[in-house]
A and B are shown apart, each in its own frame.
Chain A
């Protein structure tokens, strides 16, 4: 670690991991509620557990992105963070606001929460993923603005690299698109448009910029490959991601009351969204095979490669599976969506945050890499969580295919609840895979505390690297 202020990232990463644990616990509860409907009812109803599961995911990923930026930007800019105190202050504000919001979800009925937080003044609550009380949303905007100011000033007054500028673009986009969550028109079609402008333009737009820049940064560090080469890849990947992602928003407009040409535009452009993810996979493997050093942090390299592969599978392949309008006509809002959602979020965003945590945590703790035993634990965690997620996705896909057939495709369509009865077996299997994921996560936590001998960096000779 070259700059003192980089260590602020540690705070953010610890909070991120803590909330990640919460998210998974609620995931396991939810999974059980699919098969035992009244499990923990009335203490934790299904709708509340789902809200906590998805909101925790978003919040901990935001913590992860912010921590990543605070670690990466000083080093890229070759200067200390512009205002370390502001980063610390924002951390506590965000953590307290996030915790209070989650507690609000759990302690009082949602309608009461809306009343207490004076949602009437500016109604923004009640929409999937954007359930946060208006006051929390205002808090998110304040934290985001302070974060952009801090990161932006550090970048603008220091060395400007492609990686930090792509990251900054992603962060600014993230903040700007979140503003649409304050617009809550009565017209349901309009409402859906603006809702997607937040949700889609985040995960299939600007977050991809953040992801690509984080991945590029870690790959430069662990492989020692020329920045020039990596930057070119980055340009191509983000150009493709934005072109396909922005017009690809149309794949959400198929059935919301938008003009029917969106079925064509949405299908064609969203069908291209796997391309940048495929390029990212090529990029990661290409760069690692051309590495000039054997970085002792093998776990970070594994996470980086894993991110590229799983993002392509989850976001790319599983997204493509149901993106074409004639297919989506049947699969819309079924377990196919849940399958895609799980693997895409894990593969693209969870894994990229865990990649940068894996790379930076040892450095912030004064080592080049975690000791060999700790890395072994971490790699076990990687495989357990990743394979569990593959199975969660496969089981949900199975559930989805059966659901589509029974409920929508067969000659004698069944009702929703009757169909749910028929696909219980898949939900049980998914719950099993979810428990394996939780075990993987526990091993991941343990890996931070495992003691052993330190491992050192081996620089490759140029001749060896070229061969």
Chain B
């Protein structure tokens, strides 16, 4: 990962956003994607209020809550990794990153149980509009967790090999920024789809 940013001449200004500026384009685009999907959900829900409320009760809130905790913890560990690299503690940095990855893996595992349950009950995209939204929104987010973990894993390997230091850690901040975005989306998605009645 190179250190150059899109706006090279802006380097003397105080940095508004951590990490590589390019990732923020991506993050904002992703947030826009989810925002549009959430608006679509809201519109569909308004049109089928009773049906949405009915089927929402069939979702597993406990697993959803556990997953929320896992993702928030994963984000916290990523923050600790950045704090560690600021102190030049390379070992501790990669340990925190592994811990963050473990939380991500935990999320995927719990979510897989949840999906297994739903698929076993014969639920699919065509079952009804609520399940269509539930499945497509969470699956789309699921894929983002996987992508976030791939990015995080690449960073972890590089960190472990001493690729980052107190002076040079843009890569970690870049990956962590994306990882926080994945977390943020879930924090909105979970209450919206699982709880709000």
Q: Which of B1-30 contact A (CB under 8 A)?
A: 2, 4, 6, 8-9, 20, 22, 25-26, 29
Stretch at the interface among B36-44, B89-97, B148-156, B163-171: B36-44
Chain B: which residue is nearest A283 at the CB level? Answer: B6
Stretch at the interface among B51-59, B62-70, B125-133: B125-133
Residues of B within 8 A of A229 (CB): 4, 6, 8
- Whether A268 contacts B22 by the Cβ 8 Å rule is no
Q: Are B6 and A232 touching (Cβ within 8 A)?
A: yes
Least CB distance, A177 to chain B, in whole angstroms: 22
| Total contacting residues, chain B, CB less than 8 A | 22
How many residues of A are in contact with the other chain, CB < 8 A? 24
Q: Are A261 and B32 in contact (CB under 8 A)?
A: no
A228 to B20, CA, bound (A): 13
- Whether A259 contacts B125 in the complex (CB less than 8 A), given A229-B6, A264-B40, A268-B36, comes out as yes
- Whether the pair B132, A261 counts as a contact (CB closer than 8 A) is yes
User: What's the Cα separation between A286 and B8 when bound, in Å?
Assistant: 12
B121 lies within 8 A of chain A by Cβ: no
A272:B22 contact, CB within 8 angstroms: no
**A233-B6 CB under 8 A given contacts A267-B40, A268-B40:** yes
Bound complex: CA A229 to CA B5 (Å): 7
Stretch at the interface among A100-108, A235-243, A404-412: A235-243
Tell me whether B60 is interfacial, beta carbon within 8 Å.
no
A1 at the interface (CB under 8 A from B): no
Tell me if B136 counts as interface (CB < 8 A to partner A): yes
User: A271 an interface residue at 8 Å Cβ cutoff?
Assistant: yes
**Given A229-B4, A264-B44, 20 further pairs, Cβ under 8 A:** A226-B4, A228-B4, A229-B8, A232-B22, A233-B6, A236-B26, A236-B29, A240-B29, A243-B33, A259-B125, A261-B125, A261-B126, A264-B40, A264-B132, A264-B133, A268-B37, A271-B36, A272-B32, A275-B29, A286-B6
What are 28 A-B interface contacts by the 8 Å CB criterion? A226-B4, A226-B8, A229-B6, A232-B6, A232-B20, A232-B22, A233-B6, A236-B22, A236-B26, A236-B29, A244-B33, A259-B125, A259-B126, A260-B126, A261-B125, A261-B126, A261-B132, A264-B40, A264-B44, A264-B133, A264-B136, A268-B36, A268-B37, A272-B33, A272-B36, A279-B25, A279-B29, A466-B9
Which residue numbers of A lie inside 8 Å of B, CB to CB?
226, 228-229, 232-233, 235-236, 239-240, 243-244, 259-261, 264-265, 267-268, 271-272, 275, 279, 286, 466
